């Protein structure tokens, strides 16, 4: 594993590299509340054995000076193009979780010459009409979903596949909120307003049009466990609707919920499916393309 920081699109962008010589290049794009370590579970179960991985710090919680909230999809895309240019990669696989999946689809639709295939991990959830109501209190850790520290921790620990969550993971959210064992959950900075604006903005984007312009091979992996409001963040019916919008996309259900799919049994399934996906489509790409 190697840590890097480059200058692109007028910001310092941090990314982690997991080298694997003569393997296809895979850019990993995480959800908006995570950081560049979000894919540790996939690496643990061997994704780096079959791909040369780059995990990008979209959130600015690593070493990037990137204001992820309020940062437009176009600006995110320019960052990724800058990264590809810096690495001298002509065409890469894009693997994105949640918001990162939407960004992968956006890249595939708008910059098709740079994207070999896309792997969407619980993406397209903004097609869910409840998405804004589900995401905003989840991001902010405010409101009726998390009225106290105990309720918050119980929610995070309850999934049987959740092999990674412990009290130390709370540090990932301290940039946005303060969690206190006695006084409950309180807002500590202005990111909450930006999160709200981003969630509403993503919900209003014409994602059906974007997915209709994805012509590369694609898979959509959907976590089936409840997340909030007694349903998965991406209900099965909407996941399958998103799959039908793309030219060549397959659907796979995954153990866990929106967070825990990246660890434990969910991560094992994801790694296996991604490797099978590449074996199925690798004949479409020359060795020169993948080794660039």
Q: Is residue 170 part of a domain?
A: no
Residue 164 confidence (pLDDT): 47
Q: What is the CATH number of the domain that holds 22?
A: 3.40.50.1820
What is the reported pLDDT for 149? 53
The pairing of strands 25-29 and 92-97 is: parallel
pLDDT given for residue 34 in this prediction: 72
Task: Give the pLDDT confidence score for residue 189 in this predicted structure.
Answer: 46
Residue 193, in any domain of the structure? no
Domains held by the chain: number: 1
Is 49 part of any domain?
yes
Residue 185 included in any domain: no
At residue 72, the pLDDT reads: 84
Q: What is the pLDDT of residue 158?
A: 59
* Mean pLDDT in consecutive groups of 10 residues from the start of the chain, 292 residues: 89 92 93 78 91 89 71 91 95 94 96 97 73 56 48 56 47 49 48 64 81 96 80 85 94 88 89 96 74 56
158 found inside a domain: no
Report yes or no on 175 lying in a domain.
no
pLDDT at residue number 53: 96
**52/292 Cα distance (integer angstroms):** 11
- Measured distance CA(245)–CA(213) in Å, rounded: 8
**Residue 147: inside a domain, yes or no?**
no
Angle between helices 191-204 and 131-140 (to 10 degrees): 160
Domain that holds residue 240: 2-129+206-291
> What pLDDT is attached to residue 202?
75
Predicted local confidence at residue 118, as pLDDT: 98
Tell me, what DSSP letter sits at residue 170?
G
162 domain-assigned: no
């Amino acid at each position: 594993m190697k840590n890097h920081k480059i200058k692109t699109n007028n910001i310092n962008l941090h990314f982690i590299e997991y080298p694997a010589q003569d393997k296809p290049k895979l850019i990993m794009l995480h959800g908006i509340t995570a950081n560049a370590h979000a894919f540790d579970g996939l690496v643990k179960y061997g994704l780096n054995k079959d791909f040369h991985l780059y995990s990008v710090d979209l959130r600015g919680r690593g070493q990037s000076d990137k204001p992820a909230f309020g940062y437009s999809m176009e600006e995110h895309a320019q960052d990724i193009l800058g990264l590809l240019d810096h690495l001298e990669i002509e065409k890469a696989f894009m693997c994105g979780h949640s918001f990162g999946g939407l960004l992968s689809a956006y890249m595939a639709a708008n910059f098709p010459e740079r994207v070999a295939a896309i792997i969407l991990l619980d993406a397209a959830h903004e097609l869910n009409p409840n998405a804004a109501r589900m995401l905003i209190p989840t991001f902010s850790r405010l409101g009726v979903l998390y009225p106290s520290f105990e309720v918050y921790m119980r929610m995070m620990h309850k999934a049987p596949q959740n092999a990674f969550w412990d009290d130390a993971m709370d540090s990932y959210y301290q940039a946005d909120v303060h969690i206190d064992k006695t006084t409950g959950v309180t807002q500590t900075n202005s990111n909450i307003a930006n999160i709200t604006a981003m969630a509403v903005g993503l919900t209003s984007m014409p994602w059906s049009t974007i997915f209709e312009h994805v012509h590369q091979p694609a898979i959509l992996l959907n976590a089936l466990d409840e997340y909030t409001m007694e349903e998965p963040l991406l209900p099965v019916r909407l996941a399958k609707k998103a799959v039908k919008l793309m030219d060549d996309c397959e659907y796979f259900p995954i153990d866990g919920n929106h967070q825990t799919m990246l660890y434990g049994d969910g991560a094992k399934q994801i790694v296996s499916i991604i490797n099978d996906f590449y074996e199925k489509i690798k004949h479409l790409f020359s060795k020169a393309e993948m080794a660039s």
